[in-house]
Structure formats: structure tokens, C-alpha cells
């Protein structure tokens, strides 16, 4: 039994045909070239509402982490509903401003901001810059002095917490490149206490992405709360706390995802009594489940020891399997007899051995021109796409019930 709704609440089989919102995907395969990124507007709206409703005491400012997917339609959907934006480059900042995002709801994060990017952010009077090092803070001070402007700063603390996620997306351990050692926070607050150019208003933390357990969040958040209490006891004013993002989503049947209500509950319990503005920066959680890739079988291939299904989506469209060994749920658009199953490696057309989506997948027999979907591709899919092999870029469309909205990226 395929539990399709676990991946997207608006993805379902009706009479063995896969529907996305209220549209049969077989029709989209006839109307558009594949591979095709499809996003459910209703799923994005649902994810945001679910996150909002999970909090009972704290009402955080939700700043969507734009790196997850910078499609203009997504920015408009989320900011129209009150979200701010978390950016990590001038390109993301400029796009947000061009679309009309409130500059006082823009947070600039990232370990490698250039002098030019910092100066532009200061001149645009954004909400705050999350600073990753003492050296960066010194540079920001020099720039502010040069242009005679002030900026709000949150210090990104590295809490030395293992998020128990993939090695390549862990960011909160002492050996990771991100953040400032919590041992140095006090001296920085003291040094900049009377500085008229930079105003340190609080702390920031982000321990990693695709986190599936609640314990790492609890440990990190508890540690940052103790840091805030110590700062306040020393007489420093702390008015803002940015808790980052990192909540995982379901990619395959092995994933056991944390309950968003549990995540919100620990934030409520730990911080509701501290008189702070709480900021959270979800990216994947808001948009990851909204997206699918509609792809067509090019052909099947029989090998000595295994059979392959070669599809027209590749690692140029979705690099996560090649980069992280990620495994996304794959579903047939037409569901056939589930008793006689074949075992295939589902692979893309790119000239790299790493262009593999799933190995040893059990599915009914597939043939050329059959359509399949790759689930949970709303985050870190199209935004990480490349021009490798000079293949035609995949188009992106948005669906709301029966309406098709073309991407205006």
C-alpha cells in the first residue's frame, strides 16, 4: 500500500491515476515537457499554517530561508502571509527587495558575506545581520563607520551540538565552519557595548538541516537560553533570539520525522518568559514537501545482474541523491498490478555514475514513455540545478486546485 499523503497531502491516487491537487498528472505530462518541477500552493499554505498553529505562547517571526528555493512565486506566497526572509547573499537580498519584501523583515545570515554585500545590506536598512565571527563583526563596524550608518547584530553562536544529521549539513559542532564559540560571546558583548555603529541585540543559532530528532534542538536551545540568562545577569540587553531552522521532512519510507508541535513546545517552554523577539528560519519545512518532479521513462535497460530504468530527470535537476546519498520516494503516475513487481535501479541520463535516484526499487514493470514522480523536491531541487551536459533546464509550475500558475522566475 503506497501512503502517498505522507509526502504531500495534495498528492493522491484516484482510480489508479496520480493526481496533484485536483489535476491528473498524466495530463500535465501531455501538456508540458519533462522533467517538470510542480509545486502545490495548498501544501505550502498548509505547512505555514501548521507551523503558526503549533506555537501556543511564543509568536515567532518566521523568516523563510530563501536558499531552500528562491522561486519568486514562493516568496510571494509566504511573504503575503506575513513571513520575513532569511538571505545568505546579495543576490537573494536584491531579489527579495525587488519582489517587495519588507526590508525590516530581512535577516542576512551566512559565513562568507563580502564587504560589498555587507555594505549593501547596511544601506538597505535590513532587520539584522547574523554575524559568524569576530573578524566579520570588526569589518561591519568599519563599514558602518565609513558610511555613517548603524545596524542591528545577532551573534551566531556555535553551541558544539551534534544535530545527528548528514555530515555535510551539520553546522553546530565545534569543528564546523559556522558561528562563534559560546566562550567568546561575553567578551564581544562587552567590547561592543557602547559602540555607536553596531548594536548587538541578541544571539543566533542554527545547528544543521534535515534534523529528524527533537533532542538536538532541545540541547542547543537550552544551552542558548543559559547564555542569554548569563548575559542579562551581567547587565547586557538581549532583545532578539534567532533559532534558525533545520526541521526535517519525509523523503522516504525510512524517515521518522519529528512532530512540529514538539518542536514548537520546547520553544514555548524555554523562551516564553524571557521577553524576547523569537525568529525562526524554516526553509525545507515550508516548501520541501510541496514539490515533485514529473519525469518520463526514456527506456529500460537489462544488465547482467540488474535492470535499470533510465528517466529524463537527472542530477542536473536534483543533485541531492548524488551529493548526500539522499533517497526520494518515487511513484508511478499510473498504478498497475502490485503483485508482479520488478526490481530496478532508477537512474538519470547524466554522464556520471553518481546519477542514481534509487537502487533496487520494487515497482511494477515500467516501459518507455511511462511517467513517474520524484517526491519532496520543493527544497534544494531547482535552486541547486546546474547546466551540466547542457541539458534544457526543467520548467517550474505551481498548481492550486485545478489552476496552473506558470513560474515567473
Q: Which residues are catalytic?
A: 351
Query: Beta strands of 168-228 (E only): which ranges?
Result: 180-181, 198-204
DSSP string, 353-372: TT-EEEEEEEEE---TT-EE
Q: Are 278 and 61 in contact (CB under 8 A)?
A: yes
Burial of 30 (0-12, 13-18, 19+ CB in 10 A): exposed
| Residue the block writes with cell 549593501 | 120
Helix (H), strand (E) at residue 154: strand 151-158
Count, residues in the chain: 409
DSSP label of 185: H
- Three-state DSSP class for residue 107: strand
* C-alpha closest to that of 374 among 74, 17, 18: 18
Q: What value, to the nearest 5°, has the Cα angle with vertex 307 and ends 305 and 313? A: 135
Cell of residue 389, nine digits: 551536459
Name residue, grid cell 520543493. Answer: 378
Contact 333, 17 (CB under 8 A): yes
CB 355 within 8 A of CB 322: yes
Strand 17-20 versus strand 61-65 pairing type? unpaired
Q: Name the β-bridge partners of 278.
A: 241
Q: What CA–CA distance (Å, rounded) separates 228 from 241? A: 9
Q: How many of the other CB atoms lie within 10 Å of CB of 374? A: 26
Residue written as grid cell 547524466: 350
- Cα dihedral sign, 129-130-136-142: positive
- For cell 501538456, the residue is 31
Amino acid at each position: 500500500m503506497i501512503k502517498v499523503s505522507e509526502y504531500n497531502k495534495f498528492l493522491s491516487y484516484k482510480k489508479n491515476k496520480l493526481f496533484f491537487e485536483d489535476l491528473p498528472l498524466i495530463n500535465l505530462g501531455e501538456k508540458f515537457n519533462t522533467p517538470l518541477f510542480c509545486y502545490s500552493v495548498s501544501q505550502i499554505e498548509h505547512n505555514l499554517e501548521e507551523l503558526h498553529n503549533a506555537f501556543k505562547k511564543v509568536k515567532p517571526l518566521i523568516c523563510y530561508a530563501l536558499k531552500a528555493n528562491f522561486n519568486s512565486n514562493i516568496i510571494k506566497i509566504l511573504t503575503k502571509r506575513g513571513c520575513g526572509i532569511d538571505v545568505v547573499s546579495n543576490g537573494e537580498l536584491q531579489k527579495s527587495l525587488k519582489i517587495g519584501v519588507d526590508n525590516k523583515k530581512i535577516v542576512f545570515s551566512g559565513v562568507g558575506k563580502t564587504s560589498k554585500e555587507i555594505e549593501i545590506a547596511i544601506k538597505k536598512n535590513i532587520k539584522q545581520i547574523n554575524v559568524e565571527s569576530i573578524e566579520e563583526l570588526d569589518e561591519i563596524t568599519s563599514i558602518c563607520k565609513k558610511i555613517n550608518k548603524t545596524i542591528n547584530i545577532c551573534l551566531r553562536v556555535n553551541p558544539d551540538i551534534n544535530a545527528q544529521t548528514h555530515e555535510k549539513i551539520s553546522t553546530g559542532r565545534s569543528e564546523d565552519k559556522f558561528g562563534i564559540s559560546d566562550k567568546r560571546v561575553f567578551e564581544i558583548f562587552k567590547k561592543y557595548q557602547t559602540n555607536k555603529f553596531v548594536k548587538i541585540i541578541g544571539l543566533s543559532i542554527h545547528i544543521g538541516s534535515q534534523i529528524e530528532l527533537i533532542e538536538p534542538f532541545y540541547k542547543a536551545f537550552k544551552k542558548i537560553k543559559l547564555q542569554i540568562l548569563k548575559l542579562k545577569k551581567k547587565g547586557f540587553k538581549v532583545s532578539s533570539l534567532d533559532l534558525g531552522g533545520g526541521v526535517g521532512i519525509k523523503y522516504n519510507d525510512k524517515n521518522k520525522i519529528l512532530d512540529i508541535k514538539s518542536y514548537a513546545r520546547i520553544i514555548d517552554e524555554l523562551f516564553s518568559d524571557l521577553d524576547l523577539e523569537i525568529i525562526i528560519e524554516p526553509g525545507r519545512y515550508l516548501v520541501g514537501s510541496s514539490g515533485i518532479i514529473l519525469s518520463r521513462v526514456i527506456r529500460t535497460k537489462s544488465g547482467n545482474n540488474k535492470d535499470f530504468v533510465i528517466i529524463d530527470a537527472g542530477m542536473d535537476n536534483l543533485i541531492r541523491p548524488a551529493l548526500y546519498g539522499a533517497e526520494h520516494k518515487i511513484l508511478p503516475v499510473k498504478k498497475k498490478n502490485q503483485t508482479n513487481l520488478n526490481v530496478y535501479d532508477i537512474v538519470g541520463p547524466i554522464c556520471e555514475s553518481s546519477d542514481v535516484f534509487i537502487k533496487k526499487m520494487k515497482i511494477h514493470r515500467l516501459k518507455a514513455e511511462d511517467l513517474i514522480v520524484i517526491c519532496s523536491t520543493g527544497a534544494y531541487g531547482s535552486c541547486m540545478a546546474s547546466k551540466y551536459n547542457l541539458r534544457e533546464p526543467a520548467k517550474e509550475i505551481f498548481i492550486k486546485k485545478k489552476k496552473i500558475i506558470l513560474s515567473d522566475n
